[in-house]
Amino acid sequence: MGTDDVQQGWKQGGQGWVANERILDAAFAPLTQALVERVAWARGDRVLDVGCGTGTLLELGVRDGVEMVGVDVSAAMVEAARRRVPEAMVLETDAGTTDLLEAAPGLPFDHVVSRYGVMFFSDPTTAFDSIRRATRPGATMTFACWRSREENPVFTQGLDLLEAALPEPVPHPAPGAPGPTAFADVERLRVILNAAGWAEIAIEPFDYACRYGLDGSDGVEERLAIIASNGRGVWGRLQDHVGPERQAELLDEVRADLRSRRVDGVVSLPAAAWLVTARNLGVEASD
């Protein structure tokens, strides 16, 4: 889903998401609920989950009697999703460049859904057009994507302390480049979806709190686990530059920082997304 670097990063980093599946599902629970409510799938529908990860939405759909097809570029996450939801079809491929009805034979999809899985296409207009062509006229697409980095403390809280200890700044994608905040510019996103042939586009802000506590914990160690496994390689880089004693000191600093972000006893970090809905009216995209 996107440039070679981004795609390779997902392939290599998928194990961290698999290991922390329960933490991420808990943190993203408010968004997951909002997505499913907006999709309003019904028993017997055929639904495509783009960037399905470890299968959260696949599992919910199957429980509701929906035929679920998931697509992801990470072999580790595809394997995890297949274990978690054996009733679903899960494909290891790039949804933006694959003939989806050839890869997953059957009727055109009634709905497309994605939780943070569509921001990594190298050519998003072509990708969204390809996805639309796999849906029936009248089908809907519902997805969540991140807003700006500045609006999302969930990106940086705790991690920024580790980044500051590195000898060089950590690079972040340029505005609009494939990456978590590729669609932070809502007007750019609207133009892309229009050009890809989607209609009745609605984009609304969705603010929620990512809460990291599991099984009665305060969430500090859970958030730390996310930072260590999915922090854009920051922890790995840090281990290359500082010794064990300094690493331990930095982790204690991060723990103290996270404790200051507890709400009702649990680490709770603000998250800011766009919730996007659109419809395929059966009209071909313009050249």
Ramachandran bin of 216, using left for φ above 0, alpha for ψ from -120 to 50, beta for the remaining angles: left
Residue 287: the pLDDT is: 43
Give the mean pLDDT of 207-235. 90
> Is the model more confident about 112 or about 228?
112
Q: What is the mean pLDDT of the chain?
A: 92
Nearest residue to 159 (alpha-carbon basis) of 223, 214, 221? 223
Residue 106: the pLDDT is: 97
Residue 10: the pLDDT is: 57
The radius of gyration of the chain from alpha carbons, rounded to an integer in Å, stands at 19
Please, which pLDDT band fits residue 2 given cuts at 50, 70 and 90? very low
Query: How many of the other CB atoms lie within 10 Å of CB of 99?
Result: 11
CB 87 within 8 A of CB 145: no
Range of lowest pLDDT (70-74, 180-184, 215-219, 240-244): 240-244
Percent of the chain having pLDDT more than 90? 81
CB 218 within 8 A of CB 266: yes
Q: Which helix (H) or strand (E) is 193 found in, with range? A: helix 186-195
Q: What are phi and psi of 192, to 5 degrees?
A: -60, -45
Residue 1: the pLDDT is: 38
DSSP E strand boundaries for 149-233: 199-211
Ramachandran bin of 201, using left for φ above 0, alpha for ψ from -120 to 50, beta for the remaining angles: beta
The structure tokens listed for 153 are: 């403390």
Residue 126: the pLDDT is: 97
pLDDT in tens, 82-128: 999 999 999 999 999 999 999 999 999 999 999 999 999 999 999 99
The structure tokens listed for 192 are: 């892309």
HSE, CB side, 13 Å, CA atoms: give it for residue 158.
29
Longest dimension (CA), the chain: 62
Q: Is 184 exposed, middle or buried (0-12, 13-18, 19+ CB in 10 A)?
A: buried
Q: How far apart, in Å, do the first and last CA atoms of the chain sit?
A: 22
